[in-house]
Amino acid sequence: MRKIGIFSIRKIWLLTICVIAIIVVGINITAKIVAGATPKPQYTIVIDAGHGGRDDGCSGASGAKESEINLAIAKRVESILQRFGFGVVMVRQDDNGLYDDNVDNYKDSDMEHRRQIIENAKPDMVVSIHQNSYSDSSVYGAQAFWQEGNENSEIFAKAIQTQLQKHLGTPKTEANYGDYYILKCVDAPSAIVECGYLTNVEEEQQLVTTEYQQKVAYAIVCGVLKYFGYVGNGVGV
């Protein structure tokens, strides 16, 4: 191969083709943006990372904070959903809570702001991410919850539960229902995911690792895909 300096002719050709490809793709994207043709995501999903600010949530056997784990998993869910083309609205993006300062009841203030964000997003789905705790430290496993009486939320929570069992090897616990403020903000299918028990030493050690957080996030997204009927698109649902 003929050499020009340190480059071969082949390398120069490859470089030229790459540059042309980048320019063509760039023009194409620009044209779409100019023409307003960028597709709007078909579905918008709100991800609510529970707690934050002065509210750490529950804490682990060795001191892990629920609020931090919730946010870490929420961001991973956001990232995967965006890769699948979903629109995502995050209720919180950092460690701060959503309450106003100098209020009598910061918890009420926090929940009210969460409700406003969820309502304004007009979402097709809501996922609230939490970690669990229990007096018996041998209890472990992830569990999804829905608002009693909301059939679509029940279907969604059960879809998530199946995926949590499949991807995390969580015990054969059933999804469960209850009465939850955050699941009543909109009629869209909504679920709380308690990703695991921080009071169980082994599960706490898993939940603080990025690898396990990614597995949890993937399981949740698989539940979302199942609910919307994206079955067998090579995503291992």
Is 165:199 a contact under the CB 8 Å cutoff?
no
In the complex, residue closest to Zn ion by CB = 130
Provide the b/e sequence for 17-37 (b: ≥16 CB within 10 Å): eeeeeeeeeeeeeeeeeeeee
Specify which residues 194 forms β-bridges with.
130, 143
Question: What residues between 47 and 106 interact with Zn ion by CB under 5 A?
Answer: 50, 57
Query: Closest distance between Zn ion and the C-beta of residue 140, in Å?
Result: 16
Question: What residues between 106 and 125 interact with Zn ion by CB under 5 A?
Answer: none
Cα 10 to its chain centre, rounded Å, is: 45
Query: Closest distance between Zn ion and the C-beta of residue 52, in Å?
Result: 10
Q: Which is nearer to Zn ion, 57 or 196 (CB)?
A: 57
Beta strands in the chain (DSSP E): 3-4, 7-8, 44-49, 87-90, 125-132, 143-147, 176-178, 190-197
Is 164:170 a contact under the CB 8 Å cutoff?
yes
Residue indicated by tokens 């921080």 = 198
Query: Closest distance between Zn ion and the C-beta of residue 195, in Å?
Result: 10
Q: Which is nearer to Zn ion, 69 or 168 (CB)?
A: 69
Is 227:154 a contact under the CB 8 Å cutoff?
no
Told to check if 130 binds Zn ion by CB under 5 A, we report yes
* Only segment of 86-94, 108-116, 126-134, 164-172 that touches Zn ion (CB under 5 A): 126-134
Query: Closest distance between Zn ion and the C-beta of residue 25, in Å?
Result: 43
Q: Which is nearer to Zn ion, 114 or 130 (CB)?
A: 130
Q: Which is nearer to Zn ion, 132 or 206 (CB)?
A: 132
* Only segment of 100-108, 110-118, 130-138, 216-224 that touches Zn ion (CB under 5 A): 130-138
Q: Write out the residues near Zn ion by the rule CB under 5 A.
A: 50, 57, 130
